[in-house]
Amino acid sequence: MQLLGFHDYRHQAQRLADALGVEYRQVGVHHFPDGESKVTLPTQLDDELIICRSLDHPNSKLIELYMTCVTARRQGVKKITLVAPYLCYMRQDKAFHPGEAVSQRIIGHWLGELFDRVITVDPHLHRVHDLRQVIPGAETVVLSAAGLMADFLARRPNPPVLMGPDSESEQWVRQIAERDGLEWRVAQKQRHGDHRVEIQLPDCDFNGRVVVIVDDVASTGRTIAQTAKALKQAGAQTVNCLITHPLFAEDTEQVLANACITHVWSTDSINHSSNVIQLDGLLAEALSR
């Protein structure tokens, strides 16, 4: 078995190959001036392949994955597993307005036709709870970083209060907090567009407390920033945040810094300077099983 990676996620993919004891090979990608991609695969491929690439900023990555997969099949590869620690297009899980495409279903079905197995970490499943419904054509494996996040927080000096910014985050906040008996709360969020978020804190005395905001995704950072500002106004002494998938789509670092967040921590599901938790052990264990 070989593991194929791409330049943008090569350190994590290489670590995963090392943890599995398999050969790491890199897919070459050339971007033409007009935005088209050319992918070049190694010529000697085994019957079974793992392709490891995180799917943040997904549009060109999906096209490149498609070309990689089709080319590998044409070279005779029989079984292909996609390891995508961040799985894209999971948030649009219904048509909120007439005519809207349900991206989750469309992309999920497509991945199911391409791959035999898809492994991911804490996908954003809200109204649809089971990844098998999203990717019906493939075997699916859903891993959670919650245990590693709890381990990380357990190594910090003072036990914090954990805060989920919205009801969707409760599944992770509860799991992390309950393992070590940490206090936890969930706020209410109203989103009025990409950049306008309103947060209402639950009833709790945050005065002088150390709070860690836990969320699966930080994209514009507005959700975490508004939560942090509300916590500071409520008297919290220190506000940090712990994110599974640091998308950091725009000026997110600045937005979080302006909200007086002391530490921004994340897993390496997406390559970012805030990465403090490595997922290769978790992924390798699942692949070995």
In the complex, which residues of this chain contact ligand R5P (CB under 6 A)? 165-166, 168-169, 197, 215-223
Q: How far apart are CA 230 and CA 36, in angstroms?
A: 44
Distance of closest approach, residue 17 Cβ to ligand R5P, in angstroms: 30
Distance of closest approach, residue 192 Cβ to ligand R5P, in angstroms: 11
* CA nearest to 162, candidates 211, 216, 203: 211
Distance of closest approach, residue 132 Cβ to ligand R5P, in angstroms: 21
Nearer to ligand R5P, 169 or 274 (CB): 169
Alpha helices, H only, the chain = 10-20, 58-74, 103-114, 131-134, 146-154, 170-180, 222-233, 252-258, 280-288
Distance of closest approach, residue 108 Cβ to ligand R5P, in angstroms: 18
Distance of closest approach, residue 104 Cβ to ligand R5P, in angstroms: 13
Nearer to ligand R5P, 73 or 126 (CB): 126
Nearer to ligand R5P, 168 or 280 (CB): 168
* CA nearest to 240, candidates 215, 211, 218: 211
Nearer to ligand R5P, 247 or 283 (CB): 247
Answer positive or negative: Cα dihedral of 166, 170, 176, 178: positive
Nearer to ligand R5P, 26 or 171 (CB): 171
Contact between 23 and 90 (Cβ < 8 Å): no
* Amino acid symbol at 256: L
Contact between 38 and 30 (Cβ < 8 Å): yes
Nearer to ligand R5P, 17 or 231 (CB): 231
For the chain, counts of helices (H) and of strands (E): 9, 16
Q: How far apart are CA 21 and CA 151, in angstroms?
A: 25
Token pair of 146 as six digits: 């919650």
Distance of closest approach, residue 47 Cβ to ligand R5P, in angstroms: 38
Nearer to ligand R5P, 215 or 268 (CB): 215
DSSP for 183-221, please give it: -EEE-EEEE-STT-EEEE--S---TT-EEEEEEEEESSS
Distance of closest approach, residue 233 Cβ to ligand R5P, in angstroms: 18
Q: How far apart are CA 118 and CA 142, in angstroms?
A: 8
